[in-house]
């Protein structure tokens, strides 16, 4: 049986590694799964057309097209916007249709 203290240390180390890259706390902006697709689609349309997000990567035959769901595409778009603009005052809100996650959704 493994020492409980070692198990705790390993768990803490793994948690720290999953949240830090180059000494920065990593966060992702993802679609809130409680919102219906039509609300997410409107928020995504805003980000793509007005918000300055390049949405070409979620088009057919592009690297982020699959999985082909509104929630997955919205998460890509919301996160792209958030990563580009968070240091300039941009938020992860999209009329409350998005949330901050500490876990990388691409995994």
Boundaries of every domain in the chain: 23-101
Q: What are the strands, taking DSSP E only, across 1-107?
A: 20-21, 24-25, 28-31, 98-101
Ranges of the chain whose pLDDT falls below 50: 13, 15-23
Give the span between the Cα atoms of 15 and 65, in whole angstroms.
29
Amino acid 19: pLDDT: 46
Proportion of the chain above pLDDT 70, given as a percent: 76
Three-state secondary-structure class, residue 24: strand
- Mean pLDDT, all residues of the chain: 85
The upper half-sphere exposure of residue 62, i.e. CA atoms within 13 Å in the direction of its Cβ, equals 12
């Amino acid at each position: 049986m493994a020492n409980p203290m070692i198990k705790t240390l390993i768990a803490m180390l793994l948690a720290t590694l999953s949240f830090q890259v180059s000494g920065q706390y990593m966060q992702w902006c993802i679609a809130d799964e409680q919102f219906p697709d039509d609300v997410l689609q409107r928020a995504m349309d805003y980000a793509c057309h007005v918000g300055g997000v390049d949405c070409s990567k979620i088009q057919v035959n592009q690297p982020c097209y699959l999985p082909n769901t509104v929630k997955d595409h919205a998460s890509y778009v919301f996160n792209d916007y958030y990563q580009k603009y968070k240091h300039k005052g941009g938020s992860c809100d999209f009329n409350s249709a998005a949330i901050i996650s500490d876990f990388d959704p691409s995994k």
